[in-house]
Amino acid sequence: MSFQKTILVTGASKGIGRSIAIEAAKENYNVVIHYGQDKTGALQTLDEILTLGKTGRILSFDIANRAECKKILEEDLNQYGPYYGIVLNAGIACDNAFPALEEDEWDKVLQTNLGGFYNVLKPLVLPMIRTRQPGRIITLSSVSGMVGNRGQVNYSASKAGIIGATKALALELAKRNITVNCVAPGIIETQMTNNLEVEIETIVPLRRMGQPKEVAAAVLFLLSENASYITRQVIAVNGGLV
């Protein structure tokens, strides 16, 4: 890179988000580490980045809270300027069989996962456009958003919505030289899959869980200049699951 580019990674306090943030720092991006509640985890992510001799900073806001997103992000923009890249990784799951799915379980997942797409990107896209420079937006969906999954009607709906929103936004921003793509992980070894009760070897063709760094590798490619002709795509990182 001829100059250091800044990227925002939401949900970077652990798991896939932390891996993306650290791998991005290794590629000399200036990383803005977002967290919602896990301040300790975010500080650990930042510490790993600083230990590498790289740069980063931390932002905290609730991606489901539109006013808070706008306030915090606009303050950061005013101080540091627009981002080159945005990685929308933060999200939640509240799994339940649909007949037992409570209203708040539906609302919370949709407002966080899909609402967060709007809440985070709305304050950031126009400043990106105004730079008249190339940019990258990468969303994180899921295999559940591609094919659905029992017990995850709410989560699958939110992640499928992210795919649709990603593809539509890609059309709007292509003429601005801002690419918009989606990475859809399968079963990845993180805290969210610690208590997963499935036989991995029977359902995943590669016979293992994926690693956060393998998802991060796809994201880092899409952030790179080598991915400048790739937009409106969904890249599945799932071991051949679908």
Structural contact between residues 200 and 208, judged by C-beta atoms closer than 8 angstroms: yes
Please, what is the end-to-end C-alpha distance for the chain in angstroms? 35
Whether 155 is catalytic is yes
Backbone phi and psi for residue 226, each to the nearest 5 degrees, phi listed first: -65, -15
Best CA proximity match to 35, nearest among 82, 72, 3: 72
Please tell me the distance from the alpha carbon of residue 139 to that of residue 213, in angstroms, as a whole number: 16
Best CA proximity match to 89, nearest among 178, 191, 216: 216
Separation of CA 148 from chain center: 19
Candidates 80, 118, 155, 229; catalytic one: 155
Best CA proximity match to 183, nearest among 144, 237, 232: 237
Q: Which residues are catalytic?
A: 155
